[in-house]
Amino acid sequence: MTGPAAPAPVPLPHTWRPFGVRVAGTVFGAMLVILVVAVWIAFGAEERGRFTAFQTSTLVFVGLLGFSAWYALIRSRVTADSSGLRVVNGFRRRDYEWAQLIGISLRRGAPWAGLDLSNGTSVSVLAIQGSDGQRAVDTVRALRVLISQHSAQRPDPEAG
């Protein structure tokens, strides 16, 4: 029995983004906005006039919170270039040199991938969602190849 085929080499720079979360968030977010606008219009002028400025601003604030959560999800990405990986999780960006990276994994049933670092810690990678199925698996395999290629180029700290 043969193992899985090796992924094709990835040209650098290359960016990976989640697919299913972006589509679902956009579709359901748009449906929610349409529903809220339709209900607001259906209320009629008299009912809308009963809303105080505080109530209206609270509704707008909740809408902006939802928008910021959606934007954080679709902003998530991983970019590989010749110097290393840039991981954007929501509103936080982290840059890693290839020498800092040990590996990447996507465990069965995990919501997203985990990046293992040379300092013994790991970082979640929201751009690689387990719900994306084979697409996520292929991305992890491609990143493993890149990490192993670039780790072969790093100097061995024990040698010398």
Question: What are the boundaries of each domain within the chain?
Answer: 21-73, 77-151
pLDDT reported for residue 155: 55
Q: What is the pLDDT of residues 108-127, one digit of tens each?
A: 999 999 999 999 999 999 99
Check: CB of residue 94 under 8 Å from CB of residue 87: yes
Name residues whose C-beta falls within 8 Å of residue 106's C-beta, 6 or more positions apart in sequence.
Answer: 112, 113, 114, 128, 130, 136, 137, 140
Single pTM value for the model: 0.79
Check pLDDT > 80 for residue 5. Answer: no
Decide: helix, strand or coil at residue 87. strand
Instruction: Tell me which architecture the domain covering 77-151 has in CATH.
Output: Roll (2.30)
pLDDT value of position 160: 46
The pLDDT of residue 152 is: 65
Residue among 19, 51, 30, 36 nearest 132 (CA) = 19
Residues above pLDDT 70, as percent of the chain: 89
Is pLDDT above 70 for 50?
A: yes
Give the per-residue pLDDT at 33. Answer: 92
Q: Which strands make up the sheet holding 14-16, listed edge to edge?
A: 14-16, 77-81, 84-89, 92-97
The average confidence (pLDDT) of the chain is 89
Instruction: For residue range 52-102, list pLDDT tens digits in order.
Output: 999 999 999 999 999 999 899 889 999 999 999 999 999 999 999 999 999
| pLDDT at 154 exceeding the cut of 70 | no
* pLDDT value of residue 56: 92
**What percent of the chain is predicted at pLDDT more than 90?**
78
